[in-house]
Amino acid sequence: MAILCNCYNKRMKNDAAKLKIGVLVSGRGSNLQAIMDASASGVLDAEIAVVISDKPDAPALRRIDGVAPGVVIERKSHPTAEAFDSAIANALEERRVELVVLAGFMRVLGADFIRRFRGRIINIHPSLLPSFPGLHAQRQALLHGVKISGCTVHLVDESLDGGPILAQSAVPVLPGDTEESLSERILKKEHTLLVKAIMAYGSARHNMANVKGS
């Protein structure tokens, strides 16, 4: 079950410039793939302006295949965490990114970065927040014996996985579930939920622009 405003359904295609998104990744990139697929099929009216990875060998980078520019920005190439964050922010701003999507980005962004993109950063997390923030959310869910888990898309603020919740999708925990089986079931929901959340964000931005213009 996806709990989400369905106003994106009403958005007419091509009635505004595409939403420019920047996707931050560190690893596998299956959520990035879901965004690219939805964009390629026209389901998602968004342009992936840039994909940024903090890991040069992230499998996510191999998925891009010309669809979007891929940029590697490594922490070790920067003297401080602030300089690293700033390099990412500059790369996003250079490409006029409107929405920053954290799709398996395994670093915490600092306060300056959040200020520069306040209200324009979303993250996908594999639990029903506020339960189980941080790492190994699916393992935490199993250890606590919850019967329902799921995934959450939330706005990113200075807290760890604590920003306002935009959308959630529930996934039952089944008898005999392992961390792997539960993660796999949640991941499928993540792909749909993240795309819907981006659509909803684009729709809201479009509606706000109409209100301002009227």
Site of interaction with ligand GRF (CB under 6 A): 27-31, 60, 103-104, 124-126, 187, 190
How far apart CA 123 and CA 102 sit, in angstroms, is 5
Nearer to ligand GRF, 64 or 206 (CB): 64
| Strand duo 165-172 + 99-102: pairing | unpaired
**Min CB(196)–ligand GRF separation in Å:** 15
Rounded Cα–Cα distance for residues 97 and 147 (Å):
39
Residue type, 67: V
SS3 179: helix
Minimum CB distance to ligand GRF, residue 125 (Å): 5
Nearest CB to ligand GRF, comparing residues 19 and 60: 60
**Interatomic CA distance for residues 107 and 198, integer angstroms:** 21
Work out how close the CB of 63 gets to ligand GRF at its nearest, in angstroms, rounded to a whole number.
Answer: 10
**32 or 206: CB nearest ligand GRF:** 32
Q: Active-site residue 206, yes or no?
A: no
- Largest Cα–Cα separation, the chain: 56
Tell me how far, at minimum, the Cβ of 140 lies from ligand GRF, in Å: 13
Give the alpha-carbon dihedral of 107, 113, 117, 118, to 10 degrees.
90
Q: Which is nearer to ligand GRF, 186 or 206 (CB)?
A: 186
The residue whose Cβ lies closest to ligand GRF is 104
Catalytic, out of 78, 125, 154, 191: 125
Tokens of 58: 């992230």
Question: Which amino acids are annotated catalytic?
Answer: 125
